[in-house]
Amino acid sequence: MRRFVWILTALVVASTLVAAPSASTAEATLDPEVVAQIARARQATLKYAANLAQAKADGYMIITSMIPNMGYHFLNPKIEGFDVTKPPILGYVRSGGRWQLVAIEWVYPTRPAVAPLKGARYGSFGAACHYVDGSFVMADAEAKCAKTNAKTGSAFNFWHPPLVTLHFWIWYPNPNGVFAEFNPLLTPFNSE
């Protein structure tokens, strides 16, 4: 049964990425190994697809509010390095009270010398203070982070320097490609 689910997932992913009429040129030419990695990543993160409670139980915590055309970000601080089946960051959107996983993500202090996925495109996230409620404030040094967020009253959680990001849109179509930083199809969720 597990093998059947994996094969079905791989076929669905491959057909939507390669044959979808709205697929970008980047998606239409995805390397077969990347298509296989998408299938592996989807199988590994299926339990989180519509179940944020499971992600939280497994150690993911909110680190951003809704970033337009990107989503809410949830980090598992115990996960390090690159493993397509164990992403350290999950990207969600919310509609009403329902949460939907849209992407997985990795962050690096500098751009990797060798891309972990063929064709990977990188984004960036500036230095920021993150608060327990998911709010964040851009700041170039941890010393500039307030103990509580002045707007939300939430306690300080952590600071990070500028980061290189790698998004992998495996749970929501993205006309700009599976590695694009932003997804214009998330616009309806931006006000949530």
The domain ranges of the chain are 49-126+162-189
Average pLDDT, whole number, for the chain?
88
- Higher-scoring residue by pLDDT: 96, 106: 106
Could you read off the pLDDT of 29-87 as tens digits, one per residue?
A: 789 999 999 999 999 999 999 999 999 999 999 999 999 999 999 999 999 999 999 99
The answer, yes or no, to whether residue 26 has pLDDT greater than 70, is no
pLDDT reading at 18 higher than 90: no
CA dist., res. 111 & res. 68, Å (int): 23
pLDDT at 191: 86
Q: How confident is the model at residue 27 (pLDDT cuts 50, 70, 90)?
A: low
Q: Cα 51 vs. chain centroid, distance in angstroms?
A: 15
